[in-house]
Amino acid sequence: MAKYQSLLKMKYNGRGRTLSDNEIHQEYQRRYQSWSAHRTEMFPVLNNYRNRYDQSQRYPLFYTLTKKMESLLTDFGDNSLEIKELIQYLPVIAQQTYIRQNLVEEIYRSNEIEGVKTNRYELNTIASELVEGTGPVKRGRRLLSTVLLYLDSIEGRPISIHETTDYRTLYDELLRGEIPEESQPDGRLFRNSEVYVGSATQVRHVPVSSEGEIEQGLSSLIDYMKEDKSFPVIKGIVSHFIFENVHPFLDGNGRIGRYLLSAYLSEQVDMYTGMAISSAIFFERSRYYTLFKEAGDVLNFADLTMFIEGLLAIIVSGQERVITDLKQRKQELEEARKKLMMKMQSYFQNWTLSDCEEEFVAGILSLLLQSQMFENDFNQGLKLQKIVTRLKKDYRFPEVQVRRICHFLEEKGLLIRQQNRPVRYTLADDLHS
């Protein structure tokens, strides 16, 4: 069976003659009418890159479920299951720390793709304050609303898109304080002027220019997401293409589009896959943009098959990075635990502690080890109250005893106090190195 190609590449076949317009249109009709074609009622803007001012919006978007796509879907599902299994065997504190790290990385990489500079430490601080209550959340801080939206998505409260005004609500929340005044929408809700997507030297896409056309495109996307019964990841990829094709705002479309894809996969598949979207795209930026350009060419006739295959492969590669990272961190945590247990045994020989107190020591040090082994460059440790709450819930350790042992370990130099209000501890360096 011949390898499935984009209609654009098939027309300009480097191994033979260029197909005529009639021949390529016949191939389009054959694909579109095929029993394996999945047809939609969305009509993307297609550009003729050989003539800047020639566009078409007369072809409905469709795709074919190819053998390669089926294989990628299998890999996608298997990877999601493996990620869930790996996470399941991690201790709770390690899980919580890993979730925060992935959330921060998703926002950071999404901004990096657009060339927007972001401080990882600041993002971590905000996420830590919101998730763990590490300090008072200062309203008005840069990217606070962005972090809140991503947190809602992984906690099962993604923003709901029921009508076109919801896209404007998302824009206002996700990008609060991020878009300069001159780049704010110039229409009632969306832009109402012409834009060019790409660089100063290369235009990748010219979307519709009027607000009415934008609202029509977004309405058809909402209908598709409500009614289509495809695989969730395919629906997410198709909707990502259409949103970027419509390009409803003057600035920020890429960040909104990636948030929507991330939030949708977090809800429909698993949060770790959802939180790996922007990192996966970041490492394949050139391929990502090429996929958009080829899919949006008028000579591709709105056949999204190759775009879906390409972006699905990028997402699968992101899952594989998560799996590799989790396996490595899990192994490192197990090795660090063994070393910590050996060190504790030597300490216990020199201390006069009851068996119960030794259990408290092991529990406290284990929690802090989990936290620090799953941090990247950000390590504020754990709040004393969180240590107390976790050990009380897991082992029914009395609060007074836990606080007393923490103070004892601090005096021995095994815990380092990072702040006083609230009290936060990290492990001494030699306990986790």
Catalytic residues: 247
Is 402 annotated as ligand-binding? no
Is 197 annotated as ligand-binding? yes
The secondary structure of the chain in percent helix, strand, coil, rounded to multiples of 5, reads 60, 5, 30
- Per DSSP, 203 falls in state E
CA distance 299 to 6: 9
Is 177 annotated as ligand-binding? no
Is 191 annotated as ligand-binding? no
CA distance 187 to 198: 22
Is 202 annotated as ligand-binding? yes
Name the residue type at position 88.
Q
| Residue with token string 């003057």 | 250
| Residue with token string 């947190």 | 151
Is 245 annotated as ligand-binding? no
Note whether 384 and 422 are within 8 A (CB).
yes
Is 252 annotated as ligand-binding? yes
Is 324 annotated as ligand-binding? no
Give residues with Cβ within 8 angstroms of 128, minimum separation 6.
100, 134, 135, 378, 380
Note whether 296 and 245 are within 8 A (CB).
yes
CA distance 406 to 388: 10
Is 224 annotated as ligand-binding? no
Is 32 annotated as ligand-binding? no
Name the residue type at position 60.
P
Is 257 annotated as ligand-binding? yes
Is 362 annotated as ligand-binding? no
Return phi, psi of residue 9, to 5°: -70, -35
CA distance 147 to 272: 16
Note whether 359 and 400 are within 8 A (CB).
no
Note whether 398 and 390 are within 8 A (CB).
no
Is 258 annotated as ligand-binding? yes
Is 251 annotated as ligand-binding? yes
Is 201 annotated as ligand-binding? yes
CA distance 67 to 31: 15
Q: Which two tokens stand for residue 344?
A: 């504790």
CA distance 37 to 172: 37
Note whether 4 and 66 are within 8 A (CB).
yes
Task: List, as residue ranges, the binding site.
Answer: 197-205, 251-258, 288-289
Q: Which residues are annotated as a binding site for ATP?
A: 197-205, 251-258, 288-289
